Amino acid sequence: MKPGFKWLIAMIALLAIGGIGWFSYQQHFIHHSITSPQRVEKKNVKLVALGDSLTHGQGDEQKQGGYVSIIKQKIEHRYHKTTVTTVNYGVSGDRSDQILDRLDSQKQLRADLHSADVVTMTVGGNDLMQTLERDVLMQSTSSSVQKSIDQAQVTYQQKLAKLFNAVRKENPHAPIFVMSIYNPFYTYFPDVAVINNAVVQWNQATASTMKNYHYMYFVDINHLMSYGQYTTKAQREQLVQREQAVNHGKVSQSRALSIMSNKDHNLNNLISTDDNFHPNHRGYEQIANRLFKSMERHDDWEFTKE
């Protein structure tokens, strides 16, 4: 056989083998496409918000419902095929055990949780405030305050686990996004370490408890809301130097109450000037931004498989 003819036979064989391989690949691709479910945007998403005053939207001067109404707009803007229904079960002043009491006693709340595609929660701030008001604001010693916070943390985690269990009983699968707490007094008492440390400790307790549950995501807004416009270390150091001359590393109940009653002014531009404690509308926008980033990363709530 001539060399040129051998070369031609070899090329035909390679092409034939390649054709078989390409045919097999196409068949595999078609089979995979047919048998693998595709993620499709839901036409309707139900978001149930459960929690305290931050879920209620207290401090929102535009009276638009705080982060809950903002997150609805963000979802519908991002996912054009989706209409979002929100149900807001936020009650100002509620501790974790009081939120649980409402869940146990309100049939409609349980029904809404059962049918929710996604759940958002704010919890823990009032649990911690109960301890801080009793100890820090009453000028207790640092060691006794820390001991009290440690003891309260254990109780808080027990209550939080009961709350999470109750929510998961109604809905085992919907993603749950839990927002951290923050220090609303940071700009006035940036040098009072006991409050800053307590907030960090409380958030760690919440995040740690959440690890025992599937599809739960911690949304950290502590520094975002506590620092406000003081975003750099240099800015915060200047804030500390200025405040040390006033409070000398201590906080009194009278000064805290004075700050909260000082209308129309706050050193933190994300905090409401109505009570100098809760977020204003700009603050709720920032919270919603942080929440939405987490919801985009964990977006099973938005899609169904077909």
Contact 94, 126 (CB under 8 A): yes
State the DSSP string of 130-153: HHHHHHTTTT--HHHHHHHHHHHH
Query: What is the pTM for the complete model shown?
Result: 0.84
Contact 171, 139 (CB under 8 A): no
* DSSP character at residue 91: -
Contact 186, 268 (CB under 8 A): yes
Contact 48, 113 (CB under 8 A): yes
C-alpha span between 77 and 71 (Å, rounded): 10
pLDDT tens series, the chain, 306 aa: 555 544 444 444 444 445 445 444 455 444 444 444 688 999 999 999 999 999 999 999 988 889 999 999 999 999 999 999 999 999 999 999 999 999 999 999 999 999 999 999 999 999 999 888 776 655 556 777 888 899 999 999 999 999 999 999 999 999 999 999 999 999 998 988 888 999 999 999 999 999 999 999 999 999 999 999 999 999 999 999 888 777 666 666 666 667 767 777 889 999 999 989 999 999 999 999 999 999 999 999 999 876
Q: In 3D, which of 91, 304, 53 has the Cα closest to residue 181?
A: 53
